Structure 1
Amino acid sequence: MPHKIAVLAFPGISPFHLSVPNLVFRAVDDDGDVDEELDEPAYRLTVCAVRPGTLPTLGDGFDLAVRHGLEAFKDADTIIVPSWDPQRGVPLDLIGALRTAHRRGARIVSLCLGAYVVAASGIVEGRELTTHWKWAEDLAVRHRGIRVRSDVLWTDLGDVVSSAGTVASLDCCLHLLRRDLGAAVAARVAKRLVMAPHRDGTQAQFVTTPIRAARARDDIGAAMEWAGARLGEPLDLDEWAAGGAGMSRRTFTRRFRDRTGESPGQWLLRRRLELARTLLETTDLPIETVAHRSGLGSAASLRRYFREVLGTSPSRHREQFATTR
């Protein structure tokens, strides 16, 4: 059965925001990206609105013809609110439909300012929600029971996923794709869209950041490439700092965290886990070999990291996402 996605449109929506889920999830089925044994597409998208009909877009450049109303929420596996106008109130029937879908078990996703709708629904009260850095303070003032985050590109609570501004919506949808269909499929879609499977960094790097000279050296970026080419090798932090970036360990660690929002060790573990996931999905290599090639050491270490970080085992992950069958 296709995974059903309902995407909410509203009068004045930005066409780009609305197009992001369609762009990412429809790309899965292009050129045989999904297992050929599947008789149906992996996803089925429906665009809906509180009041279906003709909706103007941002700037009134053209109108949208939306045929479906909130009944699209009733059997959706995922509901995406790709944007919202913060000056617009959230209709009570939209709040009710979102709450009902959430109680039923639907995954709720807000992209960029769609966080205003999810916050108004009350389903993240006492939890956290990510939105565009420019509107984070306003959202936090309106909903004091929610921890509003402006320091990350997306947040995944399991049942509720939220992302930062415009382009981060692509990162978030790619994350959902990775979660649903595995790292290998997500990597193929990212390649098709000419974007990175993972974008390193946080919103913080885009806030009041001075513009660099065009030819300025990106030492941290060079260090990432240096480590990325050596994932299967033991990497000492001092060696990485000196060989990859030409810095002391202390300076490297500080600048790396400023750039990415995480420590060098956290970043390296995430990259190695991603490599391990891809090897499990696309090869028949033994678990021990996958652990060695991804730089995670032994099969026991690989199992521990999968359990702690991904909540599963390498064997179960392979059974679920293998493309070599």
Structure 2
Amino acid sequence: MPITALLLLDGAPGHQLTTAGALLGALARSGPEGGRTELRICLGPGFRATAAPGPFGLDTGWGLDGLDGADTVIMAGYREFRAAPPVVVPAGLRAAADRGCRVGAVGTGTFALAAAGLLEGRRATTDPRHTRELAVRHPGVVVGPGEEVVADGPFLMSAGVLGGKDLWLRLIEEMHGEAVAREADRRLFLRLPERGGPQAVAVPDPGGADVIGPVIRWLERELRRPLTLADIAAHAETSVRTLSRRFRSGTGLSPLQYLLRLRVERAQQLLERGDLPVERVAVLTGLGTPANLRHQFQRLNGTTPGAYRAAFRSIVTMFTQDDEDYAG
């Protein structure tokens, strides 16, 4: 079982811990066989409690020793990021990097990676309020202002939105693929219907992915087109009957059912990431009309596009409000 160590110093934002646990928990419940990951919560010297939002104390049994043997080490943000971290912290991070670990940081945790000398000449990001400060304090680091996630070699950093959600989804994607990461995301943050029910967005079974994977990737590129079952079979260079059998075996759905779920899922992404009107979202996803988009979205997700967008934005607002007690 892969081991991920999350290192906390005093004043680490509480939701950077809970987001990690919740997403990895969603992966264990909905991901592929063997999708479990051990999450070690490691407390650095002087840890007393997390900071807002969600302050609480912890007693996990793991200190810096929890980094030993981990496949991935993530440094959470922390209150005193402007001061030099305890010397054992940079040493532990360097040791993890030296043995080939994936090393990452959420929010102001990037300052600890920079203090360890791991980011010289590399791209990085941090809490948007502190990107300039990171660049000034560590001029050898190439700071990407406005970037929510930055990956450079074995190092992965997140600005910290929604407790570092994007970083954890990136790690899940690296381990299990994009479809599994998207499923963990949708199940956790917007409480949409569970996979496996009549309203679910299906994730391909790993056993069938080699057969239908190229077809699925083609469908994802061609969502705007009015595709028929015959069109899909022609692209796959197979009969409609064989195509349908392979999709049923790999996903539990027919090709057109799977295509519909891809379109609704793409609509979710567009609604999350911008202000496109529903009319434009309908066109870009191949659902055609706003009425059809609303109908299919309601049928598959149990809510309307407008309510979905509002729910997503309320979550983002809750976690990104400008609270000076929040360490990033």
TM range (shorter): 0.5 to 0.7
Tell me how far apart the structure 2 counterparts of residues 289 and 323 of structure 1 sit (CA, whole Å): 12
Q: Is the 8 A contact 1:84 1:117 kept in 2?
A: no
Q: Does 1:139 align with 2:129?
A: no
Aligned counterparts, 1:38-57, within 5 A: 38=34, 42-51=36-45, 55-57=48-50
* C-alpha distance in structure 1 between counterparts of 2:58 and 2:163, whole Å: 24
Counterpart code for 2:114 = A
What secondary structure, in the 3-state scheme, does the structure 1 residue paired with 2:121 have? coil
Output the CA distance in 2 between the equivalents of 1:63 and 1:11.
10
Write the mapping of 1:145-224 to structure 2, written as runs, cut at 5 A: 145-167=140-162, 169-195=164-190
Corresponding residue for residue 75 of structure 2: 81
Distance 2:66 2:214 in 1: 46
Q: Is the 8 A contact 2:205 2:251 kept in 1?
A: no
Cross-structure match for 1:27: 26
Structure 1 length as normaliser, TM-score?
A: 0.59
Stretches of structure 1 that go unaligned for 5 or more consecutive residues are 197-277, 298-321
Partner amino acid for 2:20? Answer: P
1:69 to 58, 63, 71: 63
* Distance verdict in 2 for CA 1:113–1:195, change over 3 Å: farther
The answer for the alignment partner of 1:244 in structure 2 is none
Deviation at 1:73, TM superposition (A): 1.0
Letter in 2 for 1:180: M
For 1:243-262, what aligned pairs fall within 5 Å after superposition? none
Identity %: 26
Query: CA offsets per residue over residues 235-257 of structure 1, 9 Å max, x none?
Result: xxxxxxxxxxxxxxxxxxxxxxx
Q: Does the Cα contact within 8 Å between 2:13 and 2:78 map onto a contact in 1?
A: no
- Name the amino acid aligned to 1:42: R
Deviating beyond 6 angstroms after TM superposition, the runs of 4 or more aligned structure 1 residues are none
Name the count of aligned residue pairs. Answer: 217
CA RMSD of aligned residues (A): 3.3
Relative to the length of structure 2, the TM-score reads 0.58
Structure 2: distance between partners of 1:57 and 1:64 = 8
User: Partner residue of 2:15?
Assistant: 16
Distance 1:93 1:133 in 2: 27
The structure-2 alpha-carbon separation of the partners of 1:96 and 1:187, relative to structure 1 and needing over 3 Å to count, comes to same
Deviates more, 1:174-183 or 1:283-292: 283-292
Q: Is the 8 A contact 2:128 2:145 kept in 1?
A: yes
The 1:323/1:49 distance shift into structure 2, 3 A limit, reads farther
> What is the alpha-carbon distance in structure 2 between the residues aligned to residue 13 and residue 288 of structure 1?
42
**CA spacing shift, 1:11–1:184, aligned 2, 3 Å:** same
SS at match of 2:140: coil
Do the aligned partners of 1:80 and 1:110 also contact (CA within 8 Å) in 2? yes
User: 2:91 & 2:212 partners in 1: Cα distance?
Assistant: 49
